[in-house]
Amino acid sequence: DVKVTQSSRYLVKRTGEKVFLECVQDMDHENMFWYRQDPGLGLRLIYFSYDVKMKEKGDIPEGYSVSREKKERFSLILESASTNQTSMYLCASTTPAAGPDYGYTFGSGTRLTVV
Amino acid sequence: EDKVVQSPLSLVVHEGDTVTLNCSYEVTNFRSLLWYKQEKKAPTFLFMLTSSGIEKKSGRLSSILDKKELSSILNITATQTGDSAIYLCAVFDYGQNFVFGPGTRLSVLP
């Protein structure tokens, strides 16, 4: 069974802390994504990566950075956490090699609270 | 601004009923429309639709896209209590962006 695993389900961090959210997939997918989900706003793309060491900004990259040193792992970094980054963060992966019917496999989410 | 609208927002039915969930969108650079089922965890992928008029089926679920009307429907026949969930419609564009609708909360009563 395919899996996208996010290392933490719940995190509470203080304002100004550096925060790492980890995502690992075991499907050898090329593409990985980080989204945040907020009530009334749906999912918004923060960053995505097409391959190792490659990254592209999504809609709301400000205050975030990412790292993809290995194909299976995509890390989201909050350089200096702020209260407006309190949200549910979802990681997803996919591969175009699966053909036109490929869907996105999501992790179970990390609920981050910044106090 | 890109937008996805779903209706109804909430629906209560009894087991065995057939339901139709609606999704309409205004999205530039449309690539595909996706349906997800969300329970207590991350959304579970159901269907991806890219071509108009072609029905996708999986068991009791089916979905079809109408690109002329910028809409899609998700049908569930012979509903079961396990179908109770929030059903999300999302449009995916060529910028790798998802635009999610607010979801339809379906409750299936025994």
The tens digit of pLDDT for each residue in B29-51 reads 888 898 988 765 556 778 889 88
In CATH, what number is assigned to the domain containing residue A54? 2.60.40.10
Neighbours of A97 (CB within 10 A): 9
Shortest alpha-carbon distance between residue B32 and chain A (Å): 10
CA–CA separation, B82 and B7 (whole Å): 20
Smallest Cβ distance to B50: which of A40, A100, A105?
A: A100
Domains of chain B, start order: 3-105 (2.60.40.10)
Phi-psi region of A53 (alpha: psi -120 to 50; beta: other; left: phi over 0): left
Q: What distance in Å separates the CA atoms of residue B65 and residue B63, rounded to the nearest whole number? A: 7
For residue A48, what are its two tokens?
Answer: 């995505």
| DSSP code of residue A104 | P
- Give contacts of B 57-76 with A, CB under 8 A: none
What is the number of structural domains in chain A?
A: 1
* Inter-chain touch B99–A42, beta carbons under 8 Å: yes
Q: Which domain holds residue A52?
A: 4-109
Contacts of B44 in chain A (CB under 8 A): 106
Let me know how long chain A is. Answer: 115
Residues A47-90: tens digit of each pLDDT: 989 889 899 898 899 999 999 999 999 999 999 999 999 998 98
- The answer to whether residue A115 is domain-embedded is no
